[in-house]
């Protein structure tokens, strides 16, 4: 009977050793596969992190390029403002040149006025000379009664009248109205240069965006491939053995009893030491893997922070873009209103200019008509002077001939008083006739003098009216020129600002397109980051499961080794334990004491003391099939159809 039990115990021990070796081999293979899978996932995670960093670098580069484009836009705005200031200075210089021309015309008009004044003074001198000569003629006429021999210097009178006629015949009203208008050319070179600069900035950005799109597509394809490859190993990776698998492995194979210790002590001790070394290696590798996982988690958190930072920057950029769009729309509306106001003012100025031109033409026609009337009056005066000169010459000639005739005539005084009275009466009649002629001549001279004074006053009045009209027209022309110049300048400024606004809108649209591309790239990066997070979480879960399985295996191996040692030591000791020798339950590790109400009870098979909860299994044995309370290990050994005691719960590690 004892030999059969020994054979059964040896067979059970061999079976347990075979099962333990099989479990160890399976554990080693699973560990190798898990390690290979973990290394593969780690390499893939490192590669994806590197790609994520590359994408973030590219995103930062695009952000810098966007900032450079902003700065270049600011520089273009500054250059446009400087060009506008240069155009303003140029326009001011042209206005100064126009003002100089106007001053020159004013000086010319003032010089012509001085010429007119000198000629008027000359006319006044000639009139004074004529008046003196008339006075001399009067005195000579009075001296005729006294039979003076002095005669009027007719030659001198004729010379003076000829000079007066010559001076009045000269055209003193020769004035030239020279107006020079300089046209300001609109130079569009600055806008062309700005457009070329913006084009040179946008083209490389579009190329880089295109290259980034290609890289993102390639990365997406690689991710799809990685996903496909990832589904295959997930199907092929062997799962950690659960409690049910352990139960299925050990089911019906652990009906074992005590074996001979002297035969198996040395190889079993070597196996225990090797298992302890393996456990330490496992624990070291687990620590390393946990460190790697913590590093990966820190990297993932850093990537999340960077992504959050980029998200905030993009939100700020979007807000800045919206503000810029609102400002640009406001500026656009303001420019539209300014354009409408400028167009209205331009129309009003054109209408005022047309009216001023019409008034100027009418005034010029009136002045020309007055000048023609003055010229006609001057010609009439000249004709009247020539007529008077001729009449004077004829009178002077008659007087000379008569005086010579009288001088050559022999004076034959009458002999009688009556004849003498007749001669005296005749002489008196001649004197009366001469006085009447003299009075008529004086009246004609007075009328001519009054006509000359009237003409002189009319000429001065016309000259003053002409000067005032010219001054008013010149001021109106200057103001209209200034207004026209201002309107043209504002019109050029508006066209320039409109072109600038269109360029800025195009640049803004391009920047919005770039921002959309960047948002799409950011979305792809976020999707990729979330995918990496999910993969990291799955890997972490697998790692936790593997760690738990490894810990369970370690605890199971330790408990099995303890149970095996107890079974081996049972041959050297009495199997039955006394309640006084045991202080804690070997199953649940609960201490027996006065505070606890747990009762001590011996296992009916191995004799060890357990608590009542740990002796819940009942085995029926003997011819009468008596019920006996046994521990978990003995129940597994006695009942072959039952599951192993460690299938439902990992046993407690030995204390």
Please report the DSSP string for 338-380 in residue order: HHHHHHHHHHHHHHHHHHHHHHHHHHHHHHHHHHHHHHHHHHH
267, 273, 275, 277: CA torsion to nearest 10:
-150
For the segment 217-233, the average pLDDT, to the nearest whole number, is 59
DSSP per-residue string spanning 469-497 = HHHHHHHHHHHHHHHHHHHHHHHHHHHHH
What's the pLDDT tens digit per position in 424-447?
888 888 888 888 888 887 887 788
What's the pLDDT tens digit per position in 162-210?
444 444 444 433 343 444 434 434 444 555 555 565 566 556 666 766 7
pLDDT of residue 156: 43
* Coil, strand or helix at 148: coil
Of the candidates 284, 265, 266, 287, which has an alpha carbon nearest to the alpha carbon of residue 276? 284
What's the pLDDT tens digit per position in 231-259?
434 333 333 333 333 333 343 333 333 33
Report the C-alpha gap between 352 and 476 in whole angstroms: 10
Of the candidates 517, 509, 518, which has an alpha carbon nearest to the alpha carbon of residue 60? 518
pLDDT of residue 247: 37
Give the H or E element holding residue 142: helix 2-145
Average pLDDT, the chain: 71
The model's confidence at residue 2, banded by pLDDT at 50, 70 and 90, is low
Q: Report whether pLDDT(225) > 80.
A: no
List the domains of the chain with CATH numbers.
Answer: 2-143+151-169+195-226+260-271+281-407+419-557 (no CATH), 575-655 (3.30.40.10)
447 burial (CB, 10 Å; 0-12 / 13-18 / 19+) is exposed
**Buried residues in 583-616 as b, exposed as e (16+ CB within 10 A):** ebbbbeeeebeeeeebebbbbbbbbbbbbeebbe
Are 349 and 462 in contact by the 8 Å Cβ rule? The answer is: no
Instruction: Give bridge partners of residue 136 from the DSSP assignment.
Output: none
pLDDT of residue 158: 45
Give the global pTM.
0.26
- 611: which DSSP letter? E
The model's confidence at residue 38, banded by pLDDT at 50, 70 and 90, is confident
For the segment 543-569, the average pLDDT, to the nearest whole number, is 75
């Amino acid at each position: 009977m004892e030999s059969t039990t020994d054979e059964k115990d040896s067979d059970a021990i061999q079976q347990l050793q075979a099962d333990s070796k099989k479990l160890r081999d399976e554990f080693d293979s699973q560990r190798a596969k898990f390690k290979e899978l973990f290394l593969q996932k780690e390499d893939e995670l490192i590669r994806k992190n590197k790609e994520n960093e590359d994408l973030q670098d590219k995103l930062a580069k695009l952000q810098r390029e966007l900032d450079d484009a902003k700065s270049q836009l600011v520089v273009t705005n500054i250059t446009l403002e400087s060009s506008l200031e240069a155009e303003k200075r140029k326009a001011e210089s042209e206005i100064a040149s126009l003002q100089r021309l106007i001053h020159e015309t004013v000086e010319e008009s003032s010089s012509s006025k001085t010429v007119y004044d000198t000629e008027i003074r000359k006319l006044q001198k000639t009139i004074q000379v004529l008046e003196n000569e008339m006075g001399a003629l009067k005195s000579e006429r009075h001296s005729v009664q006294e039979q003076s021999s002095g005669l009027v210097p007719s030659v001198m009178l004729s010379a003076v009248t000829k000079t007066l006629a010559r001076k009045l015949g000269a055209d003193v009203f020769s004035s030239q109205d020279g107006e020079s208008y300089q046209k300001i050319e609109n130079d569009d070179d600055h806008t062309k240069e700005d457009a070329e600069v913006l084009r040179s900035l946008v083209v490389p950005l579009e190329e880089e965006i295109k290259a980034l799109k290609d890289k993102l597509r390639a990365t997406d394809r690689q991710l799809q491939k990685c996903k496909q490859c990832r589904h295959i190993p997930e199907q092929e990776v062997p799962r950690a053995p659960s409690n049910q698998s352990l139960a299925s492995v050990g089911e019906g194979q652990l009906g074992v009893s005590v074996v001979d210790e002297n035969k198996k002590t040395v190889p079993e001790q070597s196996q225990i030491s090797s298992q302890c070394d393996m456990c330490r290696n496992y624990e070291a590798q687990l620590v390393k893997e946990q460190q790697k996982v913590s590093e990966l988690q820190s990297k993932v958190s850093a990537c999340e922070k960077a992504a959050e930072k980029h998200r905030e920057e993009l939100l700020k950029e979007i807000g800045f873009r919206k503000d810029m769009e609102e400002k640009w729309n406001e500026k656009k509306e303001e420019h539209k209103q300014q354009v409408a106001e400028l167009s209205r003012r331009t129309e009003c100025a054109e209408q005022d200019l047309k009216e001023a031109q019409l008034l100027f033409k009418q005034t010029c026609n009136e002045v020309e008509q007055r000048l023609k009337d003055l010229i006609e009056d001057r010609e009439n005066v000249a004709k009247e002077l020539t007529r008077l000169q001729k009449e004077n010459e004829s009178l002077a000639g008659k007087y000379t001939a008569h005086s010579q005739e009288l001088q050559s005539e022999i004076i034959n005084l009458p002999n009688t008083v009556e004849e003498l009275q007749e001669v005296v009466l005749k002489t008196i009649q001649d004197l009366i006739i001469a006085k009447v002629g003299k009075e008529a001549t004086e009246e004609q001279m007075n009328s001519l003098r009054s006509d000359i004074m009237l003409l002189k006053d009319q000429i001065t009045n016309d000259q003053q009216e002409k000067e005032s009209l010219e001054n008013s027209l010149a001021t109106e022309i200057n103001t209209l020129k200034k207004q026209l110049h201002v309107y043209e300048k504002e019109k050029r400024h508006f066209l320039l600002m409109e072109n600038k606004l269109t360029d800025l809108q195009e640049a803004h649209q391009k920047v919005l397109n770039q921002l959309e591309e960047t948002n799409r790239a950011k979305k792809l990066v976020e999707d990729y980051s979330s995918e990496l997070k999910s993969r990291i979480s799955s890997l972490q879960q697998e790692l936790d499961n593997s760690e738990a399985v490894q810990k369970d295996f370690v605890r199971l191996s330790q408990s099995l080794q303890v149970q095996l040692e107890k079974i081996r030591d049972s041959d050297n000791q009495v199997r039955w334990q006394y309640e006084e020798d045991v202080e804690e339950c070997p199953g649940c590790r609960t201490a027996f004491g006065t505070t606890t109400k747990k009762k001590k009870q011996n296992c009916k098979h191995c004799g060890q003391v357990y608590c009542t909860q740990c002796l819940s299994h009942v085995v029926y044995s003997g011819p009468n099939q008596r019920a006996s309370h046994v521990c978990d290990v003995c129940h597994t050994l006695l009942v072959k159809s039952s599951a192993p005691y460690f299938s439902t719960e990992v046993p407690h590690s030995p204390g």
